[in-house]
Every structure is written in structure tokens, then in C-alpha cells.
Amino acid sequence: MKICVIGTGYVGLVTGAGFAELGNEVVCVDIDAEKINHLKQGKLPFYEEGLDELITKNVARKRLSFTTSLAEAASSAKIIFVAVGTPSRADGEADLSFIIQVAESLIPLLHDYKIIAIKSTVPVGTLKLFSEILELGGKKKGAHFDIASTPEFLREGDAVYDFFHPSRTVLGYDKPEVGKVLHELFLPLKSPILHTTSATAQMIKYAANTFLATRISFINEIANICEKVGADVMEVAQGIGYDKRLGEGYLRAGVGFGGPCLVKDLKALIRLAEENGYEARFLKSVLEKNEHQMRQIIYKTKQALQDVLYGKTIALLGLTFKAGTSDVRNSLSLKILKHLKKEGAKIKAYDPKGMEEAKHIIPEVTFTSDAYEAALDSHILLILTAWEEFATLDFEKLKKTMKQPLIIDGVNLLDADSMRKLGFVYQGVGRG
């Protein structure tokens, strides 16, 4: 099948490369000429495990190509996937500027019938807006186009795996013929396929991300209580994770949730509820708890340094919002870093994959070549991203280079007893 994918971010690139691997002919299009030129040269705009090899293989097989020309990408495509960004506005509402721009750009290109599948995370009502734009431009639904919702459930760092091993596929549409075509396209992935309306498909995506955010805020609340009563949240999470009604996913206490999706989608759902006459107080409390958790790390750091940050050197390990990616968008680590700098702390930071992106946001920070250089002459070490590399450091060697043997482990990556035996003053999250 011939496919066009609009947008070459995490979702667009993984989707395009994935469908090419399944034997389809895919053209990915983006208005960013520099990004497209880099992709044609085999250079990815971000790190995602396994994606480089997947793209290289399918470009060589001539099943995957890149262009800045939407006309070229869409001309022979049977299905057009829209995977552009929908960032948050100041009030939390999803910014649909890129979605609207795509709809307007497609008007002169829909000479023959195409299915337009919205993969971007958008609020209910967006597909209707998209259709109205096309119809105002003289295109007839059913003759020139039909529109569907095909939400993505890809985890950054595991996106390639998730594409080929989905837990479910959700297809939202209003015509059985559209559902049949999409069903055949996704069938090789061998996942349960849920056929529903576009509104329900969009709500499934928002509900899934909101529930994940809720689990993280929940376990962080439990972690803070554990600290007060002398319990260990790691064992608490293990204990409740055995319950099949609860499961074990997203029950790891830490700095909170960041990244490009959970916060954005939570805010958008809150705003959507308000626009429809409902105050989502529970969802607001999940968001507030997340902000509180980030402040807890700052508080612990100040407490460990006797409330004096000015002039202190802080080694910060981890800049990306999670391990396995180069993405620093909405990284809580960067938010914590900025706060510490405002109070006069000197920051030495290291991350295995995220430093190039971080340098564009916080260029005044000292970036180091490895964790040992970051720890040299530091008063305290903060671990804010759970990279496996940090768990295997030679902490005895590292301790000898620090001015004070203080560790704040914001992601509970290390073994507390082992760190204390080495002579560190160690604090995790909810570890008693």
C-alpha cells in the first residue's frame, strides 16, 4: 500500500519506517528542509533505539523516502497519516495550528480519494474541524476523502519495539469501508484491534496517558508518606504490583512525569472538560502533585546542603525526561536545574544522549564528558534520569573526587544500603 506520513517527529518517523518494514511504500514529508536533508543523508534528528537501522534498511530497499513536497508525498498515497505536533497553549488547550495548516495544504492536492488518518493526539472535535476545512475548500467527504483517528501508543526509548508489538490498535471512523482498509493495514502487527468512533478513539488516547500520569502521581504520594513513616516505597510498589487488578507498570517513585506527552495531554483533557462544562478536579490534583514532587527534589537538595545553594557545585546526572531517548522536552531534570541555578548553584551536567539538545536550552551550564568529570569537586550528586550507565558507575572512585559524599537519587536507581556502606549520605524517594 502507498502511504504518506506528514511530520517526521518521533511518531511520524517510527510510523513511516515501521510501515515500510511491513512492505508498504512510504513517503515521509516535513516542512523542515534541514531535517529532511539530514534524513536523506541517513542522519536522524533524535536518538531512538533501533530506528536508525530500520530507516537505513528500508531506504536501501526503496520502500521509504523523504521529501519537503507534500504534493509529491500525497499524490499517489492511498492513506495519509497526520503526525504533526499539538503542543500546549498557555491555558493548557491543545494548539491545533499545525493540524489546521495540514488541512489547508491538502485542499489543492485531493484530486482522487484518500483516507486521512490522524495519528497526532488531538481533542474530540478536531476531526470535524479538519473535515470542515477541506469541505470549505471544495472537497467532498466520501468522494475526495474520509477521515479517521488512529492514535499512537509509542513509548519513547521503546518506540520501534512498540510499533511492531502493540498492546492494541485503536481505529476510530464513521464508515465501515474506511475501517476495513485500516484493519488490513494494521493486521500484520497481530494485536487486538478495537473498532470504534473517532471521538472514542481520541478519548482512549487521552484516558490512557492521563491514567499513566495518575499512577505516577499516586506512587509518588505514597513515597512521600513512606519517608515519614520509615517504609520503603520500592517494596510497597512490588507488593501492590503482584495484584492483577493493579499491575506493576508506572509504579516507580521519582521526580515525577515529564516529556512531550503526559503533561500536555493531561492539561488538554482538563481544558476539554472545562469547555464542556465540567471541572476535572481529580485530574488537576494529579498535575499539582507532579509539580510538588519536583519541588521535593529541590527541597532535599537544599536540606542536604544546609539550605545554602549559592556557590555550591552540583553534579547532575540525567537531562532527558527518561532513559533511552535524547528528548529533553518538558524534562523535569531541566526544570530542577534551572531552579538550582537561580539560587546561585554551579551545575555540572552529564547525560548519555541528551546533552546536544539540552545545550540549546541551557547553554550556560557546564556539560561534561562523563559522570566522573561531573562529580569532580562537587558538593552533591543528583541522579534525575534512570540511565543504566549511572547504576554501574564506580562509586568508590567517584566518591574520592567529590567534596562531600552526598547523593540525592531522584529515580531510585541505586541500592541504598550499598551506597551507605561506601560512605555516602544517600537519599532516594520514599526509601524510609
Length of the chain in residues, anyone?
432
In angstroms, the CA 182 to CA 155 distance is: 22
Residues 4, 28, 226, 261: which is the catalytic one? 261
- By the 10 Å C-beta count (0-12 exposed, 13-18 middle, 19+ buried), 95 is classed as middle
DSSP class of residue 154? P
- Phi/psi for 11 (5° steps) reads -70, -45
In angstroms, the CA 3 to CA 58 distance is: 14
Side chain identity, residue 112: D
Closest CA to 75 of 112, 100, 104, 107: 112
Side chain identity, residue 93: E
Angle between helices 126-136 and 198-229 (to 10 degrees): 150
Cell matching residue 79:
492513506
The alpha carbon dihedral of 176, 182, 187, 189 has a sign of negative
The alpha carbon dihedral of 224, 227, 228, 230 has a sign of positive
In angstroms, the CA 199 to CA 171 distance is: 10
* Chain centre to alpha carbon of residue 66: 23
Strand-pair partners of 196: 172
In angstroms, the CA 60 to CA 75 distance is: 22
3 state SS of 76? coil
Closest CA to 152 of 133, 136, 172, 135: 172
Closest CA to 408 of 324, 305, 290, 257: 305
The set of residues, in sequence order, having a beta carbon less than 8 Å from that of 48 and lying 6+ positions away, is 10, 13, 14, 156, 157, 159, 160, 325
User: Is residue 28 annotated as a catalytic residue, yes or no?
Assistant: no
Closest CA to 255 of 288, 298, 207: 298
In angstroms, the CA 118 to CA 120 distance is: 6
Q: Which residues are catalytic?
A: 261
